[in-house]
Structure 1
Amino acid sequence: MNLKYLIFSLFIPLGISAQDIQNNPKSNHGNKFEQLGTVLPTPNVYRTASGAPGQGYWQNRADYDITAFLDEDKRNLKASETITYFNNSPDDLEYLWLQLDENEQSSVKNAGYQSESTLPKVVTSDGLKATDLPEKDNGYGVNLEKVTDASGRPLKYIVNKTMMRIDLPTVLKKGEKITFKIDWNYNIPDRIKMGGRGGYEFFPEDGNDLYTITQWFPRMCVYSDFKGWQNNQFTGRGEFALVFGNYKVAMNVPADHIVAATGTGKNYEQVLTSAQLARWKQAQNANEPLEIVTLDEAKKAEKSKSKERKIWKFEAENVRDFAWTSSRKFIWDGMKVTIPENNNEVMAMSLYPKEAYGLYRKFSTRAVAHTIKTYSEFSIPYPYPVAQSIEAANGMEYPMICFNYGRTEKDGTYSEGIKNGMIGVIIHEVGHNFFPMIINSDERQWSWMDEGLNTFLEYLTEQKWDNKFPSRRGPAYEIVDYMKLPKDQLEPIMTNSENIVQFGPNAYSKPATGLNILRETIMGRELFDKAFKTYSKRWAFKHPEPADFFRTMNDASAENLDWFWRGWFYGIDPVDISIDKVTVASPDLDSAPKTREVTYTVEKPLQSDFEDISKIRNREDKTITFYTDTDKGSQDFYWRYNRGQEKVDMKKEYKMKMDHFENVPQKEKSKLEKVYAYQIDFSNKGGLVMPIILEFTFEDGSKLNDKSSAQIWRKNEQKVSKTYYFDKKLKSIQLDPMRETADIDTSNNFWGEVPEPTSKFQVFKQKQEGAVRGAANGKINPMQAAGKKN
């Protein structure tokens, strides 16, 4: 999910100090470079010490057959599903857990994770109402109509907020499967007013709705080797842990609606017009986006508001979820994309209302194609037949389909910020097809494993889209403001989603930045890319955990990165390396070497002053014979000397000359007389170790660069020194010149000549003005100023 669109709640951070792992807390070493060891789960037959799935790895599966009826007049969805659940675990299951995510929209059935509230300074009239005590039912959430086995017999169940437990009449044993049915309905919420991921958006100018139907059906929870049932409540933040399976879904919608969904359409011949069907077939061989449903057709459909019905049918194999969208407002375009790594031919498509036409028609499907090709290059080849971007004024991801924003001004122009934001969110949400839709991590527990890894690849993909693309997440310097925050406002990346205060930086930016630092600064691109692809390949269509990622990156690279995982993921210390002092020394080539005379006496016998108990008992034990006592040939001067049989004058003094040096020959002096030594003293003020990267500038204007690995701190994590020898005078030293370590204080990163200020700059206080996402806020955008719309 893209965090540009979330309104963040505040939570109290938990367990920050407990995450600060110190093996040797009172020392200046022995902490930051120690192995994670028992911090990570113990390897077993399911998950190996290398980070790969073990020989006993297993995961359960759920297949779905669903029919749905969209009632546009009542804004209600009525549906029925048949679930076949396969128990591939080694355990017998007495009950099943399912997710009822739509209950989070209910005022009485939600998870109950409240946030604090304070008196507002400004409130809208719609928001000002008396507090309901007790809370009144707002009419939203899942209404269960029937839960039965395959033959129609009722099954016992209980609903706990956003989770539903079904008690099985007989134990579901290892290797067995069960089929059961659920009928339900729910009122579709106004997604713009109520928030959330699914719902409807109403367009008052033409009186139509655009529906995004997500988290809409009772879905199986994951039962795993590492947690058992993942039935943590859905609070609206921590996303989803889901089971792979096959889907057959039929949607009954108004006849003039266009539907897009996870998977491939199976009855386009029945639901499209002959002209649309012909264009659909043509688009499957197009190398640029071709309109399947045109702008004119969408405008006409907006006015028709048909009362007839059509049923759209979709199927998807080996996916973890299913989402769909429906509206008569949709324009639809598409083209074929071939993935080089596996020669998979994919339909890249976009659906969007006329309000987004000026942006989506030009960019969306192209961005979809670019994303799946670039992610395939860096992770695994895209395996699915479809990839789609839907304009729905938000950002959220599902297998083969995602919802994004990007609308023009009414005159068809748009700002550069809206354009780049739209391209960024399309790349991000389409990229989620890989993380977590295929590399299927537990989002409910570890948001960073999908959002952070995906944001990292989003950055790589944005940069390959346009070398001047203004990416906000990925470059190290962009995370500095977050890392500077007081520690009571921070928590480790390894913190559960619900307990994070700064959710965007923690789950998205910091992990993405850390991976970019590994790639660019610590490991190098080639080695990092090989290791990352290994992780992606190992855990495609499986359920990885953090330890699987950490161990695989170590295992596949021969880099011991535990110091990095420990500091960047388990800690909250920032990077702040300081140049404290530079000591300069020049060579003295004319001094005569001094001969040193040492006075000493003869060494005493090399035996312990204290007779230990083993020696005493060995002498007393008459069964023990000593070799040198019986073999006279092994007895020498020192054998006798240790027993006082050889007499040596221990008081007599001897003298020894220490004469190891001589003057440098004259012919070599000219080479050495210009060599200067520079000892640079560094301190680790922030606490997080990182490579020391230096740029040396000399008086003649030339430059040299050097990088010391982070391991330079291993014997002293607080202070280190490094000495360089140069045959020309050094003018200045710049620490971290490319700002690639996320150093939070660059004022202590420079030594040398700093020019005096030659001018003044003005300082003013910023006015406090509200901002609306995607709005121009009264400004004329450059397209309007130039009188152009493209």
Structure 2
Amino acid sequence: MNYLSKVTVALAFMITGIPGVQGQEVRQTNQDVFNEFTYRQGNTYRTASGRPGPDYWQNAADYNIEATLNDEAHTLTGKITVTYTNNSPEDLEFIWMYLEQNRFREDSRGSLTTPIQGNRYDGDVDGGYTINNLQAKVKRSTSSKYIIDDTRMQVFFEEPITANGGKATISMDFEYKIPVEGMDRMGRLDVGDGTIYAMAQWFPQVAVLDDVVGWNVEPYLGAGEFYYDYGTFEYKITAPFDHIVVGSGALLNPRQVLSPKVRERMEQASRSDSTVYLIRPEEVNDPSIRAKQEGTLTWHFKIENSRDVAFASSKAFIWDAAKIDLPSGRKAMAQSAYPKESDGQDAWSRSTEYSKASVEHYSEKWYEYPWPVAVNVAADIGGMEYPGLNFCSWQSKGASLWGVTDHEFGHNWFPMIVGSNERRYAWMDEGFNTFINHYSTLDFNNGEYPSRLNRMRNMTGWFLNPNREGIDTYPDVANLQNLGMIAYYKPAMGLFLLREYILGEERFDNAFRSYIKAWAFKHPQPNDFFNHMENVAGENLDWFWKGWFYGTGNIDIAIDGVQSYQGNYVISLSNRGDIPMPVEMRITYSDGDTEDKRLPVEIWQRGNSWNYLLRTDKQVQSVELDPEKVLPDVNFSNDAWPGNFYQER
């Protein structure tokens, strides 16, 4: 028996004689906190190691759309053809599609579930789709049968789409009035030089069939966002001749819609690290800068391996751009479109600078940006993301504009590249994105703007609110006063704790990058994330997932006392909260030296108290838990010994 074992045995008999310290051998078990909290066994579709399995499948939808914007009637009229590929193992007699514009009806489920006093997700109630000429073709058969219910449409086939690669085409004409108030996600904004049309959820789109729940057909109500399959989108927008149209993906016909002067400037921007004007503020109303002097222009865009597209159209746009450098050597282009009211070096004149920095950072740190452009559009929208295009508030400036621009471009990674289900699991896109925003903000101009995750302990008041909800709360039923925490900040704090406190940077980054790569352009579920992080990082984290992501408990690690014992010291610790944590301690000695000690989370498996034997021949002056102040501990008054240590510093 070695020396440490002898001391442990002696302590088992003698340490109960030290006031305030309990013997470690008499504690009751705490193992239930560490047990698996959900069924996470793998199968052929999704492995236990958190990767797509050998039989993983997802369906694909390719879109061809032609639409016309009428800026007098404020309508959008279009025709869509969807080529749908059924990669599932079952024949499909029908598919489900989303008609998101039906949210803007007086009798929509979203309108009827909006509180009388309103909320962020208010919207117009005089809109909605008119659908005509629907044809659903499989091989030589054609069906025109469909059922529309609120924001969903069920389309039937005369013969089923065969499993494992069968195809169908669905076409229809559509029309609707463009809302002014589009639930803070789309809509119209009148400015001095015209109207800005921010167009999203603007065409019928196929819902996701997956191996977990089958058809995902939750209605579009408000807080819950979107879940779509991947495909190629080729779309044409016909707008008045004096409009500038920006959209997701590459502009395929610049010679037809851009004047020689604008094309020349765009070529210059494609080689420039600094922002280049495509249309200067003084040129917004200059006819000579336009490619045409009357009628309409048709703008042709294409994006591949995307789950959605959005566009904006206005004659009021200032337009600028710069190149984006990507790790592989490939180039993309950052663009910004905004009205004169948003111009200024403290405002949208820096938008392209922000956009370029954001996309380059995420590409270098996590996964390379896959699309040719990254467009930021000023609109009457707080902040909303689509593949390759954002809508951000036209009134944002300074730190606010950096924050919203960076956040919305971060969404290109979650959920645009890693295609999680936003309507069910808001935390898998908002929370993950808020987490990566922290590091991009620290990186931008050496920390020009602050990150809120640097002030986690300032948020602990929410954790004591009796009305708090869990991260797993369905976003459309969450209390809107809680939504910011449970969708954005608490999951972001959880990832921050994993990286900065539990796993360390290297293990976390390896696992997180691996997760993104494994699920890029695919549909992970929460368990896929949990399993993947554990397997790559090499750590059982059930205790953390259960406590932080699927509960409302808190962290409260305490020092109960420090006492001398046979020439050494016993530091008595307790877990007074609901979530165990590894313990980081900083011991300061009377000679001014300091020493850091780390105790693993397993000390709490046998109960909620632990005695640590500190072997030293020095005199202990103070002990401090979590010296870097990473943990959102709800009671930091018990984090130090002596108790007045914080006040003395």
Same fold by TM-score greater than 0.5? yes
How far 1:379 sits from its partner (Å)?
A: 2.0
Q: What letter matches 2:188 in structure 1?
A: Y
RMSD after superposition: 2.5
Bigger Rg, structure 1 or 2: 1
Partner of 1:32: 33
2-side partners of 1:152 and 1:108: how far apart? Answer: 35
Which residue type is aligned with residue 100 of structure 1? L
Q: Which residue pairs with 1:748 in the alignment?
A: 638
Aligned residue number for residue 696 of structure 1: 587
Displacement after TM superposition at 1:476 (Å): 3.6
| AA in 2 matched with 1:405 | S
2:603 corresponds in structure 1 to: 712
The alpha carbon displacement at 1:308 in A equals: 2.2
Counterpart-to-counterpart distance in 2, 1:35 and 1:537: 26
1:221·1:243 contact (CA, 8 Å) conserved in 2? yes
Q: CA deviation at 1:552?
A: 0.6
Q: Name the counterpart of 1:613.
A: none
Map residues 472-621 of structure 1 onto 2, 5 A cutoff. 472-473=452-453, 476-486=456-466, 489-501=467-479, 502-585=482-565, 587=566
Question: What is the match of residue 469 of structure 1?
Answer: 449
Structure 1 residue aligned with 2:15: none
Q: Which residue of 2 aligns with 1:678?
A: 569
* Residues 1:312 and 1:571: Cα distance change in structure 2 (over 3 Å): same
Q: Take 1:709 and 1:378, find their aligned partners in 2: how far apart are those partners? A: 29
Q: 1:380 — aligned with what?
A: 367
The residue correspondences of 1:619-768 to structure 2 (distance < 5 A) are 676-716=567-607, 718-752=608-642, 754=644
1:277 maps to 2:263: yes
Q: Percent identity?
A: 36
- 1:241 aligned to 2:131? no
C-alpha separation in 2, matches of 1:56 and 1:138: 44
CA distance, structure 2, for counterparts of residue 451 and residue 757 of structure 1 = 37
Cα offset, 1:483, TM superposition: 1.7
Distance 1:31 1:479, change over 3 A: farther
Query: Which residues of structure 1 form unaligned runs of 5+?
Result: 1-25, 128-136, 409-417, 588-675, 759-790
Q: Could you tell me how far 1:195 is from its partner in structure 2?
A: 3.2
Name the TM-score, length of structure 1 as normaliser.
0.74
Partners in 2 of 1:200 and 1:153 — Cα distance? 38
What CA deviation, in whole Å up to 9, does each residue of 1:460-481 have, x standing for no partner? 1111113353112465424422
Cα deviation digits, residues 581-605 of structure 1 (max 9, x gap)? 22223x4xxxxxxxxxxxxxxxxxx
- Given the two structures, how large is their TM-score scaled by the length of structure 2? 0.89
Compute the displacement of 1:302 (Å): 13
Q: Identify which of 401, 406, 420 aligns with 1:422.
A: 401
Aligned length: 610
Distance, in Å, in 2 between the alignment partners of 1:255 and 1:76 is 16
For the residue of structure 1 that corresponds to 2:391, the secondary structure is strand
Change (3 A) 1:112 1:210: closer
Q: Which residue of 1 aligns with 2:390?
A: 402
Is it true that 1:368 corresponds to 2:355 in the alignment? yes
Which secondary structure state, in structure 2, belongs to the residue aligned with residue 689 of structure 1? Answer: coil
* In structure 2, C-alpha distance between the alignment counterparts of 1:285 and 1:215, rounded to whole Å: 33
Query: What SS is found at the alignment partner of 1:543?
Result: coil
Give the match for residue 172 of structure 2: 182
Shift of 1:542: 0.6
Q: Determine helix, strand or coil for the equivalent of 1:70.
A: strand
Structure 1 residue 212 displacement after superposition? 0.5
For residues 136-193 of structure 1, give each alpha carbon's deviation from its aligned partner in whole angstroms, at most 9, with x where no partner exists.
Answer: x9421112233123599661111111111112111111121111211111111113xx
The correspondence for 2:147, drawn from 144, 158, 177, is 158
Q: Identify the residue that residue 94 of structure 1 maps to in structure 2.
A: 93
Distance 1:63 1:724, change over 3 A: same
* CA-CA distance at 1:368 after TM superposition: 1.5
Measure, in 1, the Cα distance between the counterparts of 2:535 and 2:464. Answer: 32
Q: Secondary structure at the match of 1:695?
A: strand
Partner of residue 453 from structure 1, selected from 426, 432, 438:
432
User: What residue is the counterpart of 1:432 in the other structure?
Assistant: 411
Of the three residues 337, 356, 381, the one matched with 2:342 is 356
1:424–1:301 Cα change, 3 Å: farther
How far 1:43 sits from its partner (Å)? Answer: 1.3
Gaps of 5+ in 2: 1-26
Corresponding residue for residue 195 of structure 2:
209
Distance 2:72 2:493 in 1: 47
Residue 88 to residue 326, structure 1, CA distance change in 2 (3 Å):
same
Structure 2 CA distance for aligned equivalents of residues 687 and 559 of structure 1: 20
1:10-25 alignment runs, 5 A limit = none
2:205 is matched with 219
Contact 1:475–1:516 (CA under 8 A) maintained in structure 2: no
Q: How does 1:40-79 map to 2 (within 5 A)?
A: 40-79=39-78
Measure the CA separation in 2 of the matches of 1:281 and 1:468: 30
